[in-house]
Copies of this chain bind each other. A is one copy, B any other.
């Protein structure tokens, strides 16, 4: 319709400007961290004056929230396509590491230091659930007959977070260890805690992954 066409044109413009803003924001974050993000600097880069950006983002926190949303979406999509291409748990681990190394600050926007007061909006936690579901699926597909663990039996009664998922508790336990262990190696690597130690973080990551995939005796 004509009325819709005009609205759509404006919406397109808005979306394009918003996209350019977030693009510049990602550059700033990659080089100086999220705390150094400046709306003023972005506006100056785009040839606009500072307050103009407030037509597109209500506040600085609003922009950062959008960046967090994009980060979650990017990770979810990365794992989704990897899974759709037939990747198993090891393949997902490789995808996760590649995604993290491509932009460490983006990883930390998802899994890094939280701001005490901040609570992510519902749509972001929904994306987080999708990420977890993808990983739980891969865990369930990998080992339908893994050994029983004490924590696994505990999870039988505490699997609300996996509601609607038919994976056995051992698969949930495997997911949790997969998540926490790989995050442990990755976050310390990205934060630079291995630099100067003379060891290759990739090999430590691989060793942890091997341990995760090898069934316990």
A residues in contact (CB < 8 Å) with B: 30-36, 105, 108, 111-117, 125, 149-151, 154-155, 158-161, 173, 176-177, 179-185, 187-188, 190-193, 196-200, 203-204, 206-208, 210-211, 216-217
How many copies of this chain are found per oligomer? 2
State A192–B36 Cα separation when bound (angstroms).
Answer: 23
Q: Is the interface of A mostly helix, strand, loop or mixed?
A: helix
5 nearest A-B residue pairs (beta carbon) = A184-B184, A217-B217, A112-B113, A161-B197, A151-B207
Specify which chain B residues have a CB less than 8 angstroms from the CB of A117 in the assembled complex.
32
A191 to chain B: closest residue by CB:
B114
Q: B185 to A180, Cβ gap below 8 A?
A: yes
Q: A204 to B176, Cβ gap below 8 A?
A: yes
Q: A198 to B160, Cβ gap below 8 A?
A: yes
Specify which chain B residues have a CB less than 8 angstroms from the CB of A188 in the assembled complex.
111, 179-180, 183
A184 to chain B: closest residue by CB:
B184
Q: Select one of B31, B116, B182, B206 contacting A31, CB under 8 A.
A: B116
Specify which chain B residues have a CB less than 8 angstroms from the CB of A185 in the assembled complex.
180, 184
